[in-house]
Structure 1
Amino acid sequence: MLFTIESDLLIVKINSKGMELSSIHSKTTKLEYLWQGDPQYWTGQAPILFPIIGALKDGKTMFQGKEYELPKHGFIRNSELGKVIKQEKDRLVFQVTSSPETLAIYPFHFVLEITFQVIGNCLEVKHLVKNTGEQDMYYSLGGHPAFACPIHTGEKYDEYAIEFPEVEQDHTWLIQPNGLIGNEGDQILNNSNLIPLQEHIFDADALIFKHLKSKKASLVHQKQRPVLEVEFEDFDYLGIWAKPGAPFVCIEPWLGIADSVNASGKLIDKEGIRKLSPGNSEIKSYQIRILEE
């Protein structure tokens, strides 16, 4: 089921399945900015990643001596766990609560609320995580929005780039065939703020950055204009990804990362994992702004 919210500038649609963004349509340009999915490449559009990011070593993790199996990126995407608890013209709130189904694969009692709110040219995606159990809760959280690229008919993929507001010195951590983070990196940003897009840039999977100074990433047409930006002040990592040759690009704010090849397999040791005390909650948000007028 699709739900619609809107501002004076944007119409946004969210799918109840996975609480996944389905459309970001500009009333001004009359264009669709979110990737619309295609089985030839990738049917996803903007899955919510919880309670892990990426893959686990051997597909499993240990907590208090017990083994748990979690699918890549967690159990929210493609699920019907989210229930709408509030709907207004410009705002939609989903809630997921722990259940016997989730406790079988993730040993924590929790509430997860996802709020989509649109104001002018900006869509905010807000995540509230609350520990409703009696022990410390460990989790990761991330966004995975995919944007159409190129946007305009007649343009080419290699006319676009990802641009940062700060000059960066960072490299991507190479992903192994099993989905784990390797020990080697590849210099991508060498005193630069621009990553030109081209057909083979994602042949080795996602670009993963751990040490960016910037807290914004923009999709820009290199010769003409900025198209959109993702602001991720609350997030520590950034992934950039597409299926090789596909007409989209994902800009992914993450709190957490896939297991490394050297991971201990213990959830509490997982890189980027967050700890939330019983009864406590925290809110993490990112914003998508359409910059074309």
Structure 2
Amino acid sequence: MTTLENDHLRVSIRPKGAELTSILHKASGIEHLWQAAPDVWGWHAPNLFPVVGGCLNNQLLIDGKTYPIERHGFARQSIFETTESSATHAVFSLHSSDATRVHFPYEFDFQIIYELTDSTLTITYRVVNEDEKMVYFSVGAHPAFAVPFLPGEAYEDYFIEFDQKEPLETHMLSAAGFFNGETKPVPTVGNRLPLTKHLFDQDALVFKELASRRVAIRSDRHEHSVTVDYPAFPYLGIWAKPGASFVCIEPWLGCADSEGPQKPIEEKEDIQHVEPGQVFTASFTVTVA
């Protein structure tokens, strides 16, 4: 386990999946990350690579061949190497290997960088193309924030606040987890999305056309908040296991497949790519107050 700490926050990251397991606000003593109850949802903040969401037939189609791939990819199940570590900075690396080539036939180095600055944690994804051809991929975050923050509060005391006042429209998922082409308006109060235990009864809320590039988890009962800034990520998922005491704020570069015929990886929706010898980088931040 790697621990980063300054005067404001203490965060922990485990080698499996380079996954955050704790974001502790030192002044208040509030643990802001869901503590992965296995009988509810056994993750804290999985990193999604080389796919986000599910693929049709649990396969990727690359250069005319199919490769088995699990939902959200293999990074969250993989052991990362810690290549740099200091009091406030750590770099985790997952290199291509015989194990990854079974699912994703590219040479790459997938790096996740964590950096503490005051009350903000910056998470950076770097994909280094070590191949002789274009590497196509998706990448995303899935952190689960504990709600409510304090004892004696209710989940319904909280809301998601968007930095823009805009209509929200979620893209609907089938029972199998694929987009079905349907959309549905999501009721808001101004720029607030109230949290309820039934908000996610029909799976995640998936927003593809947001103007907002910042959301915050807040309550009217106090000033504590968690804010996620995701300027480089065009898609945002918001999800919780129905009835559970957390909410996931998920910036994505890529998404699940849509129902219909399988497409080659380079034609997948919002697919990312990096040229041979080049590096792809995208960051988001979590700020605790």
TM range (shorter): over 0.9
Give me the whole-angstrom Cα distance separating, in 2, the residues matched to 1:228 and 1:263. 40
Cα distance in 1 for partners of 2:261, 2:279 equals 27
Q: Are 2:265 and 1:267 aligned?
A: yes
Task: Provide the residue aligned with 2:66 in structure 1.
Answer: 67
2: CA distance, partners of 1:101 / 1:41: 29
Post-superposition offset of 1:226: 4.9
SS of equivalent to 2:167: strand
Question: Which secondary structure state, in structure 1, belongs to the residue aligned with residue 191 of structure 2?
Answer: strand
Alpha-carbon distance between aligned partners in 2 of 1:168 and 1:190, rounded to the nearest angstrom: 9
Tell me the CA shift for residue 189 of structure 1. Answer: 5.4
**Correspondence 1:136 to 2:134:** yes
How far apart are 1:102 and its partner, in Å?
A: 0.7
Cross-structure match for 1:90: 88
Paired position in structure 2 for 1:48: 47
Structure 1 segments unaligned to the other structure (5+ residues):
none
The residue aligned with 1:203 is 201
CA RMSD of aligned residues (A): 1.3
Aligned to 2:215: 217
- My pick for the range that moved more, 107-116 or 218-227, is 218-227
Q: CA deviation at 1:190?
A: 6.3
Q: State the 1:265 CA deviation.
A: 2.9
Secondary structure of the residue that 2:266 maps to in structure 1? helix
Q: CA separation in 1, counterparts of 2:163 and 2:138?
A: 26
Q: Which amino acid aligns with 1:142?
A: G
- Indicate conservation of the 8 Å contact 1:263/1:270, yes or no: no
In structure 2, what residue type is equivalent to 1:220?
A: R
Q: Give the fraction of aligned pairs with identical amino acids, expressed as a percent.
A: 37
Inter-partner Cα distance in structure 1 for 2:223 and 2:173: 32
State TM-score, norm by structure 2: 0.97
**C-alpha spacing 1:263/1:189, structure 2 compared with 1 (3 Å):** farther
Give distance in 2, aligned partners of 1:46 and 1:263. 31
Q: What per-residue deviation string (whole Å, max 9, x for no partner) do you get for residues 99-131 of structure 1?
A: 111111101111111111111100111111111
TM-score normalised according to structure 1 size: 0.96
Amino acid of the structure 2 residue aligned with 1:28: A
* Matches for 1:8-87 after TM superposition, within 5 Å: 8-80=7-79, 82-87=80-85
- Please say if residues 52 and 256 of structure 1, whose CA atoms lie closer than 8 Å, have aligned partners that are also in contact: yes
- Do the aligned residues in 2 keep the contact of 1:169 with 1:192 (CA within 8 Å)? no
Query: Which letter does structure 1 place at the counterpart of 2:272?
Result: R
Structure 1 equivalent of residue 109 of structure 2:
111
Unaligned runs of 5+ in 2: none
Match of 2:123 in 1: 125
CA distance in structure 1 between the aligned counterparts of 2:224 and 2:7, rounded to whole angstroms: 21
Structure 2 CA distance, aligned partners of 1:169 and 1:190? 8
Shift of residue 170 of structure 1?
A: 2.9
C-alpha change, 1:191 and 1:161, in structure 2 (3 Å) is closer
Q: Deviations over 1:156-175 (max 9, x none)?
A: 00111111110112311111
* Residues 245-264 of structure 1 aligned to structure 2 (within 5 Å): 245-264=243-262
SS at match of 1:158: helix
Tell me: CA distance 1:244–1:190, structure 2 relative to 1, closer, same or farther (3 Å).
closer
Are 2:188 and 2:194, in contact at CA under 8 Å, matched by a contact in 1? no
Which stretch shifts more, 243-252 or 126-135?
Answer: 126-135
Alpha-carbon shift at residue 140 of structure 1 (Å): 0.5
Deviation at 1:78? 2.4
3-state secondary structure, aligned to 1:85: strand
Letter aligned with residue 9 of structure 1? H
CA distance in structure 2 between the aligned counterparts of 1:15 and 1:224, rounded to whole angstroms: 31
Task: Specify the code of the residue in structure 2 equivalent to 1:102.
Answer: T
1:61 Cα deviation from its structure 2 partner: 2.0
> 69-78 or 264-273: which moved more?
264-273
Distance 1:221-1:191 versus aligned 2 partners, 3 A rule: closer
Q: Which residue of 2 aligns with 1:289?
A: 287
**Structure 1: 4+ residue segments shifted above 6 A:** none
